[in-house]
Amino acid sequence: MCTGRVDLSFLLRAFLDGADGVFVGGCLLGECHYLTEGNYHALGTMHLLRKLLKRIGLDPRRMRLEWISASQGARYAEVIDEFVRELGALGPLGTGEGIGKEALTSKLESLYGMVPQLKLLIRERLQVRVKSAKAYEELYANPKVDEWIDEMMSDPASVPGGLPAYYIDPEKCVGCLICQKKCPVHAIDGANKTIHVIDQEGCTHCGTCFYACPPRIGAIRRIDIDSVPPPIPREERVLGNRSRA
């Protein structure tokens, strides 16, 4: 199976099921057997998961990704032996970090519940123009990525069963139609050069609009579901000559 099909939920489920570590081995970068460059997708997932593990107090070394070709049997054995020794030194999952079983389960379940929004984050903001290991390292070293993750994890959506509301700030909206076109349930009302408004009854709280809105605009906010302001009157939505900068 291509490493590009190793879903983030699979990796988190392994930790939820008590695995002390997770190993993923894939084709050498630049030598994808399916011409889809799925191993680069796996590389991005690994960087994100390591950040998430660190965020909840787990050692990120518990997630390991290696590029090994089919002819490198000896290297595969060496890498696995090394990983097993490293996990032995780290100790059992959670125990080695001083996290109780119930607290660990709660933290991992919270992450697992965030998978849909994490995938949106990957799709909309965590992409590189030219795929390379260095490009992904630089991307995930950007402090902005940590800000996005912290923001997401402090949101009600990070709690199983909790859902945020999404609201388009009329002072920031530039009427670009991007969020409207991306909305999978067509719950955003708007036209070119008019302030967009989210139909809260039709919204499924998926977060697609939040990550679709260009960061330089940042018009969409996550807020408590009971704190959504009333929509502005339709006659006040025309932007006119307002600057789009």
For the ranges 44-58, 96-110, 217-231, the lowest mean pLDDT is seen at 217-231
Please indicate, yes or no, whether residues 117 and 191 belong to a single structural domain of this protein. Answer: no
Please indicate, yes or no, whether residues 242 and 133 belong to a single structural domain of this protein. Answer: no
pTM of the model: 0.69
Last residue of a domain, one of 124, 156, 188: 156
Q: List CB contacts of 119: < 8 A, sequence separation 6 or more.
A: 8
pLDDT tens column, 13-38: 999 999 999 999 998 988 877 767 88
Please indicate, yes or no, whether residues 182 and 148 belong to a single structural domain of this protein. Answer: no
Structural domain containing residue 170: 163-245
Q: List CB contacts of 153: < 8 A, sequence separation 6 or more.
A: 55, 110, 114
Please indicate, yes or no, whether residues 47 and 167 belong to a single structural domain of this protein. Answer: no
Handedness of CA 67, 38, 147, 105 (dihedral sign): negative
Q: What is the CATH number of the domain that holds 213?
A: 3.30.70.20
Split at pLDDT 50, 70, 90, the class of 150 is confident
* SS3 state at 65: strand
Please indicate, yes or no, whether residues 171 and 150 belong to a single structural domain of this protein. Answer: no
pLDDT tens column, 84-131: 999 999 999 999 999 999 999 999 998 888 887 788 788 778 888 888
- Among 167, 173, 162, 163, CA closest to 229: 167
Per-residue model confidence (pLDDT) at position 180: 94
Please indicate, yes or no, whether residues 53 and 96 belong to a single structural domain of this protein. Answer: yes
Distance CA 135, CA 44 (A): 10
Last residue of a domain, one of 114, 137, 156: 156
Q: What letter would DSSP give residue 228?
A: P
- Among 202, 206, 179, 204, CA closest to 192: 179
Structure token pair of residue 107: 């933290």
Mean pLDDT of the chain: 88
Cα dist from 233 to 19, 143, 172, 221, 230, whole Å = 54, 38, 16, 19, 9
Please indicate, yes or no, whether residues 127 and 94 belong to a single structural domain of this protein. Answer: yes
